[in-house]
Structure formats: C-alpha cells, structure tokens
Amino acid sequence: MLPWWDQPANPMSMHAEGRAAAAALDRARGQVAEACGFSREEVFFTSGATEANNWLLSKGKWAVTAVEHPSVLGRGAIRLPVDENGVAQPSMAPELEGFDGVSVMLANNETGVIQPVAEWSEWCRRKKLRFHVDASQGPGRIATKISADYLTLSAHKAGGPTGVGALLARRGIWPEALLVGGPQERNRRAGTHALPAIVGFGAVMEARGEGSPVARDALEARLLALGGKVAGGGASRLPNTCCVGFGGIDAQDLVVALDLEGIAVSAGSACASGSPEPSHVLKAMGFRGSAVRFSLGPENTVAEMVEVARVVERVVGRLR
C-alpha cells in the first residue's frame, strides 16, 4: 500500500503514473476475483461490505436468514429461520413465491457458524432465484470459492485495510449504478478509486489461505471446562471464533472485566456492542442468556489462549 500513498495517482489518468496506477488496480481486481472464483470484470470495489450489501439488496424482493449482518437484515422482505445451532437449512424455508433472491451469509460474525451455501446455491438454482452470499467473514479463515450469483467482501475482516470491500456480480446480472459520475467500475460506482486501500485488499486476499482452529480449540476446551456454553457449538464454525456464555453472568460485565485485564472481547457484534438489546443472532437460535465472542487473529498462539483461559477463570469466579 505504501507506494500508492507516496505517489497518489489516479488509475483513470492517461499519463505514465496513471497507467501504473491502473495496472495496480487491475492486479488487485484479479487477486480478489481469483480468491473467490469470479472474473476481473465481475468485481465492483466499494467502501466495504455494508455498501455492497445495501447496493445489491436495495433492489428487488429478497429473503434473508434471521442471523444476517444488519446491512443485509435491514433489506430483507422475510427472515428465514435457523435451527438451535444458528444454521439456516433450505428444507426449513417457506415457498418464496414472488421473491427475486435469497441472501445467506457464508459465516456468522458473532458465532462463526458456517452456513450450507452450496446447498442453498443448488436450491436457488432449482427455484430460479438469485443467490447472494455475504462472505465477509470468510477470507483468511475458510474457502471463499463459492457458487453464487453475488458475493460480498470486506477487506478489514481478513486483516486488510478498513474502508474497502467489493460486490462481486456474475456477468449479465450486474446491479444498476449505485453512484453516477465518472466511468469507474463499469459506470456503476463512480468516484476516484481509493487505490492504497484497494491494493491492500488485493494483497490480503492473495496472501491469506485458510485458518487453523488449534489455538481457538485450546481456548474453547478450557472455557467449556469452566461451565461455558458455546453458541453454535454443534455446527461447523470458523476456525478463529468462539462465542461463549456463562450462565448467570452478564456478557457486558464480562467484557468490562476482561478489558481491565487487557483482553479485548465483544458482546455480540462490534457494531451492536454498547446496545443493551440482546443479539438478534442469539435470539434467532434460541440461545439463553448473553455471550461474549473471542475472535483470534492468525498470530495468536496456544500459549496465549492458555493464559487467556486462566484470566477468564479468575474473572468468572469473581463475577459468580
């Protein structure tokens, strides 16, 4: 990213600097496309996943699962139910007569629960419905080559910069223009490209493979031994996420107590933390009580998780 801050060039310019910027933009577009099994001209850069989700879902009638991120949930005409593990199964869906499409996230941002998107893709194909996947939580953790008409990505969820993401749309079913102005993004999303951020997004999509659950599992085993209940514990989950509740202990109290110990956890999603409302995700899966989410980075070690579990034991004992 650094060279593009030092030399702020516009990829739409004809001069040599502009052409170099255009080449960097094209490379990033290719890196994003390749990581997800789309082609370059199917990548539309946005300011993030919130924008991509709103862009696509603001047109047409969409069914969305009850555990989606609010940027999807707020655009859905109906909420598809999930089971006690937070998994939305096509067999649980009603007839979607008169609908244009279905939106199912790849993995949940609070629980890490992975949805059966391959089955949904096939189900939507049979029902002649468009299929969108909010894959924001996938890169760097699980495979992101997904059979879908549309895909949403967010760079910062994969360890890239904030303020950049993408809507991927198969050729022939591109969305109408979101912003009019310049010809950027095939006349659909005008405005000068945020090149340093886009270059970082491309790099992180290429560099990151899939994650390992070893450190998370070491933490989770210890939290279970302390009487913790893992939300979505019976489902396939992202390798880095553990959403756990301790009966009788309020999640907000635990967040504050752990913060004082230098351990940063969230109650629910980061966007909704601070709100006293219970998480819509936990509510939809019938999870009793509140829960905190431990999100590990690829650099976290088993030794660190053993230490974290020791601190949690002390704090939970005190709160109890």
Point out which residues bind ligand PLP (CB under 6 A).
48-50, 69, 71, 105, 109, 134, 136-137, 154, 157, 165, 271
Contacts of 240 (CB under 8 A, 6+ apart): 112, 141, 211, 213, 216, 295, 296, 297, 298
Sheet strands (E) in 73-208 = 78-80, 101-103, 130-134, 150-154, 165-169
Q: How does strand 241-245 pair with strand 292-295? A: antiparallel
Measure the CA–CA gap between 41 and 50, rounded to whole angstroms: 21
The three-class DSSP label of residue 299 is coil
Q: How far is the CB of 133 from ligand PLP (least distance, A)?
A: 10
Which is nearer to ligand PLP, 9 or 136 (by Cβ)? Answer: 136
The three-class DSSP label of residue 192 is coil
Which is nearer to ligand PLP, 69 or 130 (by Cβ)? Answer: 69
Residues forming beta bridges with residue 102, ordered by sequence position:
63, 131
Q: How far is the CB of 6 from ligand PLP (least distance, A)?
A: 26
Q: How far is the CB of 261 from ligand PLP (least distance, A)?
A: 25
Contacts of 282 (CB under 8 A, 6+ apart): 110, 111, 231, 268, 290, 291
Which is nearer to ligand PLP, 134 or 220 (by Cβ)? Answer: 134
Which residue of the chain is nearest ligand PLP when measured via CB? 48
Please give the torsion angle defined by the CA atoms of residues 133, 46, 156 and 264, in that order, rounded to the nearest 10 degrees. Answer: -90
Contacts of 296 (CB under 8 A, 6+ apart): 215, 216, 219, 240, 241, 242, 305
Measure the CA–CA gap between 193 and 181, rounded to whole angstroms: 13
Which is nearer to ligand PLP, 37 or 163 (by Cβ)? Answer: 163
Which is nearer to ligand PLP, 9 or 104 (by Cβ)? Answer: 104
Phi first, then psi, for residue 109 (nearest 5°) are -80, -15
Count of residues in the chain: 320
Catalytically annotated residue among 36, 124, 243, 271: 271
Two tokens, residue 305: 């998780």
Note if 242 is an active site residue: no
Which is nearer to ligand PLP, 160 or 245 (by Cβ)? Answer: 160
**Chain mean position to CA 151:** 11
Q: How far is the CB of 317 from ligand PLP (least distance, A)?
A: 32
Measure the CA–CA gap between 267 and 253, rounded to whole angstroms: 10
Which is nearer to ligand PLP, 121 or 152 (by Cβ)? Answer: 152
Q: Annotated catalytic sites, by residue?
A: 271
